[in-house]
Amino acid sequence: MTNQNNEFEVLRAHTNSRDGRVDTLSAHSQRVATLARGFAEGIGCEDLATLLGTLHDIGKALPGFQSYLESLEKGEKPPHGPPHAIWGAALWFCVEKQPLWREICLPIAGHHAGLSSSTDLGLRLTEFAKENSADIDQLRLAVTSQGLFKGKVPASKLGGTQLEMRIRFLLSCLSDADFIATEEHFNPHSADLRGNWPTLSNLWPLFESKQRALLSKAKESWNEVQRVRSEVYEDCLKAAELPPGLFRLTVPTGGGKTLSSLGFALRHASCHRLQRIVLAVPYTSITEQSAKVYRDYLGSEAVLEHHSNQVIPHDNEDQDALHVRSRLAAENWDATVVVTTTVQLFESLFARRPGKVRKLHNLARSVIVLDEVQTLPLELLRSTLDALRSLALDAEATIVLCTATQPTFDDSPYLREFKDLPVREIVSRSRDHFSALRRVRYERWTEPISWKDLASKMASQTQALVIVNTRRDALNLMEELKGRTGLLHLSTLLCGAHRRDVLAAIATRLPAGDPVIAVCTQVVEAGVDIDFPFVYRAHGPLDRIVQAAGRCNRSGKPELGQVVIFQPAEGGVPRGSYRIGFDQATVVLDREGPDRLHDPSIYREYFQRVFSVADLDKKKIQDARLDYDYPKVAEEYRFMQETISVVVSYKGANGAEEALLAEWKEAPTREAWRRLQPFLVNLYRYEVDRLTASGWLAEARPGLYKWWGKYDEVKGLAGEALDPADLIQ
């Protein structure tokens, strides 16, 4: 250790910048502490965050790390520097130990590698302190001599899963502050482009003016649809004045939910001085549609769209400031309005790596709109709702639960996460709205029907949509319909570019009256803007049936559309939560009949039945959280079963996929991966292993494969080589 009193100020945190500027350890630590303190205001942990910023890099004061930096300055390339994150954690662990050691030590030790298990870190720090007691004493003297320990940090009043989430938010504050402070040193141009987004105080009057103009114009041709949309919007504005917390927005298809929820969010944020709006939706297709609507109203410069399909260009000299600002904001969501997926939102909330969690502190004091909230995975529901509870209670966020088929999270004996948090209804006349916007007539066939007979019944129809439960069912029905004019297919066996082309073909053929028979899986059910006169839906979960009906007579023609619920004689049903929903829908429909699907109150009973049967914490994530086992939580909290990406040669790509694959193999950057996304099909591990063994797949890079078989221009990645047994979606 160098002389604390004379040389502490000249110790360096990083190598010099390109223009020769020095970043001292003292200056870097102070900058990180200042930024982290500001980030922590939304969670009320300013003093804790300041301490984290002060101590996070204290291990760089040791001679070994300073020598490492000197070697780098000389052009030498040692394999890696001595570990430094552990030292600040060890210093606090030895000085204070209890009761704040988790809140301090876990974020500091994990600000590069990620949050550890509390038990593992405690054992590691105990051994580390024994082996390095002399250096730790020297660090303590240096820190004390510089006055970096100033008083005691108040102990947290939280416990259990609230404290577990608080620690993750503290890592978010620290890691984002560290990233930004380091960026300011090495790349001040990028740092200067951060932020500068339009303020919510400016966006609300802009939105209100456009919305009022739209409603005023609608009065020229006033009808039931316009009446309902107007009433929903007015209710949203009234509810926006209520204090922050949990809200429920129940709106039927066609009721203007997207714009009304945005109006609520903007008005609510303006009333209560909240800092941003986050819209999270379950599918990228809805994300893209919603982001477009938001941009049309608020301007492109106001909206950050962040999901796997969104390509944000490289930061190069030809690129404008908006693109650079968007790329930077995707790292930490410091934009004013963010449109993302529920997967991105919730897997970040339960992540442990700094790059994934650094956005979390920007959720504090925000309005978070969850669209199609009924799609939240049942097996993760308790931990998911508990995270929302923490956001509302401990981060001053407002949560809006949006859907036409509303679950009753706050009124169930099987869920306790919202018991002490009232969920307020935004719309007071939802039952009347569902009746007014009735667009379809339901018919239920109780006798099982074969694919062959279903195809025969559809012989007289030129435009119809069929939604089945599995990919295998879709392929079997396609075989029976072979030869029909306008036959199309949509499932996850198609790559993204192929799916977009199919949807574009449907959108062109339907209004023209051209033949189009679309056989699909559930990928079309939520938010896909297609409008068929006939929809056939294989019996499934109740909310999925209603979502399918939303693809029928979407334009609201006076003549009701026809939705047929049928029972496939040869069909399969996915296991797990889907099967639970399937069984409980059978019970409800047997007793109530399909006409009750127009009554929103039926979903209360349906979801209560589902909650009573499902294991709502199947992976015991809540237990892992109480143990502060962050690696286990991050590993287990996954929205979807793990899949492997396969690159296919879709003819619409005109060879683009080969060039993109070569680019990815040479330089696997985030941008290259996003550009490759449209030409990927995701398969389960067991499928990949079998197809690789038989020569149909070859690994291009770890976790990415190239398909060498035929890619069917209708069915996608489906042929004799791919056994479709048990394929879902």
Domain with 346, as residue range(s), is 242-253+270-431
Same-domain status, 351 and 495:
no
* Pairwise CA distance, residues 637 & 619, whole Å: 8
Helices (H), 24-159: 25-39, 46-55, 63-73, 85-95, 101-109, 118-131, 133-145
| One-letter amino acid of 258 | T
Residue 540: C-alpha distances to residues 225, 521, 543, 552, 567 (Å): 29, 11, 8, 17, 9
What pLDDT is attached to residue 309?
Answer: 46
Could you give phi then psi for residue 722, rounded to 5 degrees?
Answer: -105, 105
Secondary structure of 126-170 as H, E, C letters: HHHHHHCHHHHHHHHHHHHHCCCCCCCCCCCCCCHHHHHHHHHHH
By three-state DSSP, how is residue 190 classified? helix
Q: Is the pLDDT of residue 72 over 70?
A: yes
Beta strands (DSSP E) in 395-531 are: 398-403, 423-425, 440-444, 463-467, 487-490, 516-520
Domain boundary among 599, 631, 664: 599
Strands 303-306 and 423-425: unpaired
Same-domain status, 423 and 452:
no
Q: Is the pLDDT of residue 190 over 80?
A: no
pTM listed for this prediction: 0.88
| One-letter amino acid of 117 | S
What pLDDT is attached to residue 676?
Answer: 83
Domain boundary among 390, 405, 431: 431
Take residue 71 and report the two structure tokens written for it.
């070697």
Distance of CA 518 to the CA centre of its chain: 29
Same-domain status, 550 and 442:
yes
Does 329 reside within a domain? yes
Single out the residue of 153, 155, 151 nearest to residue 163, CA to CA. 155
* Pairwise CA distance, residues 574 & 535, whole Å: 21
Strands 704-707 and 697-701: antiparallel
Pick the more confident residue, 726 or 378: 378
Single out the residue of 552, 533, 489 nearest to residue 729, CA to CA. 489
Going by pLDDT thresholds of 50, 70 and 90, the confidence category of residue 420 is: confident
* Pairwise CA distance, residues 339 & 290, whole Å: 8
* Pairwise CA distance, residues 176 & 350, whole Å: 17
Q: Is the pLDDT of residue 312 over 70?
A: no
CA Rg value for the chain: 28
Take residue 578 and report the two structure tokens written for it.
């889907």
* Pairwise CA distance, residues 4 & 179, whole Å: 27
User: At 507, which CATH number?
Assistant: 3.40.50.300
Give the tens place of pLDDT for each residue, 327-380: 555 678 888 999 888 988 999 999 999 989 999 999 999 999 999 999 999 999
Look-up of token digits 């650094």: 358
Same-domain status, 451 and 410:
no
What pLDDT is attached to residue 333?
Answer: 86
Going by pLDDT thresholds of 50, 70 and 90, the confidence category of residue 724 is: very low
What pLDDT is attached to residue 329?
Answer: 53
* Pairwise CA distance, residues 585 & 604, whole Å: 12
Strands 463-467 and 534-538: parallel
CB atoms within 10 A of CB 418: 21
Same-domain status, 378 and 355:
yes
Does 518 reside within a domain? yes
What pLDDT is attached to residue 315?
Answer: 37
Residue 20: C-alpha distances to residues 14, 67, 244, 305 (Å): 12, 18, 48, 36
Same-domain status, 371 and 499:
no
- Check if the beta carbon of residue 210 is closer than 8 Å to that of residue 362: no
What pLDDT is attached to residue 151?
Answer: 53
| One-letter amino acid of 705 | Y
User: At 61, which CATH number?
Assistant: 1.10.3210.30
Q: Which residues contact 92 (CB under 8 A, 6 or more apart)?
A: 55, 100, 101, 104, 105, 108
Does 613 reside within a domain? no
Same-domain status, 305 and 184:
no
CB atoms within 10 A of CB 216: 9
Strands 561-566 and 487-490: unpaired
Does 113 reside within a domain? yes
Pick the more confident residue, 215 or 432: 432
Q: Buried b vs exposed e over 75-95: b needs ≥16 C-beta within 10 Å?
A: eeeeeeebebbbbbbbbbbbe
What pLDDT is attached to residue 328?
Answer: 56
Q: What percent of the chain has pLDDT over 90?
A: 49
Same-domain status, 353 and 488:
no
Across 664-676, average pLDDT: 72
Going by pLDDT thresholds of 50, 70 and 90, the confidence category of residue 150 is: low
What pLDDT is attached to residue 723?
Answer: 47
* Pairwise CA distance, residues 108 & 93, whole Å: 11
Give the tens place of pLDDT for each residue, 86-142: 999 998 888 765 568 899 999 999 999 999 999 999 999 999 999 998 888 888 877
Q: Which residues contact 575 (CB under 8 A, 6 or more apart)?
A: none
Take residue 713 and report the two structure tokens written for it.
């221009």
By three-state DSSP, how is residue 98 classified? coil
Does 582 reside within a domain? yes
| One-letter amino acid of 354 | P
What pLDDT is attached to residue 479?
Answer: 93
Take residue 252 and report the two structure tokens written for it.
């039927």
Across 669-694, average pLDDT: 82
Most confident range, picked from 13-17, 388-392, 414-418, 549-553:
388-392
What pLDDT is attached to residue 624?
Answer: 98
The secondary structure element, H or E, covering residue 345 is helix 342-349
For residue 428, the number of C-alpha atoms closer than 13 Å in the C-beta half-sphere is 8
Going by pLDDT thresholds of 50, 70 and 90, the confidence category of residue 694 is: confident
Q: Is the pLDDT of residue 184 over 70?
A: yes
Give the tens place of pLDDT for each residue, 207-259: 998 888 887 777 767 778 888 889 999 999 999 999 999 999 999 988 889 89
Does 621 reside within a domain? no
Q: What percent of the chain has pLDDT over 70?
A: 89
Same-domain status, 479 and 366:
no
What pLDDT is attached to residue 729?
Answer: 41
* Pairwise CA distance, residues 644 & 681, whole Å: 8
Single out the residue of 30, 31, 56, 52 nearest to residue 43, CA to CA. 52
Look-up of token digits 């070697």: 71
What pLDDT is attached to residue 318?
Answer: 33
Burial-class residue 100 by CB neighbours within 10 Å (0-12, 13-18, 19+): middle
Does 348 reside within a domain? yes
Does 216 reside within a domain? no
Distance of CA 696 to the CA centre of its chain: 32
Sheet harboring 643-647: ordered strands across? Answer: 680-684, 643-647, 704-707, 697-701
On average, the pLDDT of the chain sits at 86
Question: Which range (396-400, 586-590, 660-664) has the least confidence?
Answer: 660-664
Take residue 680 and report the two structure tokens written for it.
């990927």
Going by pLDDT thresholds of 50, 70 and 90, the confidence category of residue 308 is: low
**Residue count of the chain:** 729
What pLDDT is attached to residue 639?
Answer: 84
What pLDDT is attached to residue 696?
Answer: 87
Residue 198: C-alpha distances to residues 43, 207, 332 (Å): 24, 13, 17
What pLDDT is attached to residue 411?
Answer: 80
Q: Is the pLDDT of residue 720 over 60?
A: no
Q: Is the pLDDT of residue 170 over 70?
A: yes
Report the first-to-last Cα separation within the chain, whole angstroms.
Answer: 60
Going by pLDDT thresholds of 50, 70 and 90, the confidence category of residue 274 is: very high
Q: Is the pLDDT of residue 154 over 80?
A: no
Take residue 563 and report the two structure tokens written for it.
């939705």
What pLDDT is attached to residue 3?
Answer: 45
Residue 350: C-alpha distances to residues 115, 391, 418, 529, 585 (Å): 11, 13, 19, 32, 31
Same-domain status, 25 and 149:
yes
Domain boundary among 157, 175, 193: 193
Same-domain status, 25 and 132:
yes
- Check if the beta carbon of residue 723 is closer than 8 Å to that of residue 689: no
Most confident range, picked from 136-150, 494-508, 678-692:
494-508
**Number of domains into which the chain is organized:** 4
Helices (H), 219-283: 224-239, 257-272
What pLDDT is attached to residue 726?
Answer: 39
Same-domain status, 573 and 424:
no
- Check if the beta carbon of residue 133 is closer than 8 Å to that of residue 87: no
